[in-house]
Every structure is written in C-alpha cells, then in structure tokens.
Amino acid sequence: MPKLAYDLIHPETRRTSVVFASPHSGRDYPWTFLRRTVLDKHSIRSSEDAFVDQIFDCAPDYGAPLLRAGAPRAFVDLNRGADELDPALIEGVSRSGHNPRIASGLGVIPRVVSNGRAIYRGKIAKEEAERRITHYWRPYHEMLRRQLDESHMRFGEAILVDCHSMPHEALDSIARGVVNRPEIVIGDRFGASASGEIVERIEAAFAAAGLTVVRNAPFAGAYIAQTYGRPERRQHAIQIEIDRSLYMNESMVRPNGNFNAFRRLMRGVVSEIAAIGAARSERLAAE
C-alpha cells in the first residue's frame, strides 16, 4: 500500500483564501500493486500528473497551502466519486445507469491508464476497492474540505485551484488551424463552479506569463470541481490543465530541458493567483 494518503505543505502564515491541490501527482507505487498489474513501471505512470506537485510547490511561499496526493492515480483516482465503481473491474459491483467515466475504465479505481491500456489481467475484490477508498480517497477529501473550511473561517471565502496536466495530443482536436496552440485549459464547469471574476483573473495570470489559455474544452472539470465549486456559498473551484510537453518528456516520464525555466515561470503565476485570494479577502472584510 502507498505510505501516505496525502501530503499537506503549510505556509508559515496563511495570507490568502486560495488552496492549491494536486490529486493526480502521487507516485508511490508499492511492489504489491506493481506485481498485480500487467503494465511495466513506466507504462503504469502514463496517466499520472507527473511533477505537477513540484510545479506548484512554491504555493506556501505566497501564503497558500498545497495538498498533494500520496497514492498514484492508477491505484485510486481522487478526482472521481467514491461511488464510481466499475463493474467490469470490481467483483460484486452491479451496473447502475450509464456513467461515461466508468464505461471508459476511469472510475474511482481505474481499470485502464491512458490510451485505454488495461491495468489488470482480471478483476479485483470489492473489499480491496473499499480499502483503497477508506485509506486514501476519504482522508484526502477530508483534508481538502478542512482546508477549504479554514479559508472560509479566516477569509470569508475559499478558492480551490485543482492542478492537473494533460497529454500534448489532448488538444489536437481543437488546435488544428489555430495559430497559437492552447497550453493551459481552465475548467470552471462552464461557469457553474466558480465566479467569473476569479476565472478571468486566473486566466489573465497565465496570459501575462505568455501562455495561451482556453476554457472548458476539452476539460471542464470533473468530480472535484463539481463537488467543491459552490460560488453561491463563496466557495470556488477551478481546474487547471497544463500541457505536459511544456516541462516534461512524456514518453520517458521525466523532466525535459525546459523544466526549471517553466517552474520559474509558474512561480509568477502562482504568486498572482494567491494574490487574487488575498485581495478578495480584504474586499470582503471591508464590506
């Protein structure tokens, strides 16, 4: 079993309502898991948001906490509901309705990694699936809720920035004929999970860094944005997807020659996003 459900990095002083989280960057692959998969150590990492936690690990320097997963996505997907169980993978689970994520093998316990490659040769026991949810999924989400509640208590508002990465080819369908290929996708579930003002300012922070941004296509936000985005309650959730080719060799799953430069670039973006929460908190306090 992975050693930790999550790792929370606290700022010395909390100065913003923003909480950064990276639910898919866990890379603790225990040998008991690897010996059950039909994939090699390299292929099993293909759906991991590799190094995203390192790109955002400067967040505490700007007064914001960073919550990052301990368990890898291939083991348990924290951006799915605990009830998104795949009957094609888990013994004793009955099919109920049509869920496209489950149908494609991407439930809370994934059946496949990227490009539809199967993780297991057969099924796993329901008890095993429940154990992963109990020991990894629930603690992560309990801590995420606690961090958002703390933002509400301190600042009167909570802004969750859910940090992800996407394969370079994920944007092929919308990049044809486009002069500036999108590099960042901001997901706010088409306005349902966050205030338009916050989303506009986050988009502006990426654009000021010279990055090309689109919204909600092809990623509008999944379980986390849907669950935690409640703008009417002053709780906002924004999903960020970054083109992996900007900082890593996707085929080798390792940093490329631009990694350190991109990480420095992102320090400015993270600083700007944290400042959004600080400024809004001051405004709310004055109202």
* pTM for the predicted model, two decimal places: 0.96
Q: Phi, psi at residue 19, to the nearest 5°?
A: -120, 125
Residue 61's contacts (CB-CB under 8 Å, 6 or more residues apart) are 11, 267
Residue labelled with tokens 């994920």: 170
Cβ atoms 215, 187 nearer than 8 A: yes
Q: pLDDT (tens digit, 9 = 90+) per residue, 16-47?
A: 999 999 999 999 999 999 999 999 988 999 99
pLDDT value for 280: 85
Helix (H, G, I), strand (E, B) or coil at 255: strand
Give the domain extent around 55.
Answer: 6-78+135-286
Residue 176 has pLDDT above 90, yes or no: no
Q: Is 200 within the bounds of a domain?
A: yes
Q: Give the chain's domain count.
A: 1
**Separation of alpha carbons 135 and 127, rounded Å:** 12
Q: What is the pLDDT of residues 120-165, one digit of tens each?
A: 999 999 999 999 999 999 999 999 999 999 999 999 999 999 999 9
Question: What average pLDDT score do residues 173-187 get?
Answer: 82
Q: What is the CATH number of the domain that holds 209?
A: 3.40.630.40
Answer yes or no: is 110 within a domain: no
Q: Cis peptide leading into 218, omega within 30 of 0? A: yes
pLDDT in tens, 191-227: 999 999 999 999 999 999 999 999 999 999 999 999 9
Query: Mean pLDDT in the chain?
Result: 95
Whether 123 maps to a domain, the answer reads: no
Place of tokens 């802004």: 159
Q: Does some domain include residue 165?
A: yes
Indicate whether 42 belongs to any domain.
yes
**Residue 234 in domain:** yes
> 233 - beta bridge partners?
none
- When pLDDT is averaged across residues 70-87 and rounded to a whole number, the result is 97
Query: Looking at the predicted structure, is the pLDDT value of residue 180 above 90?
Result: no
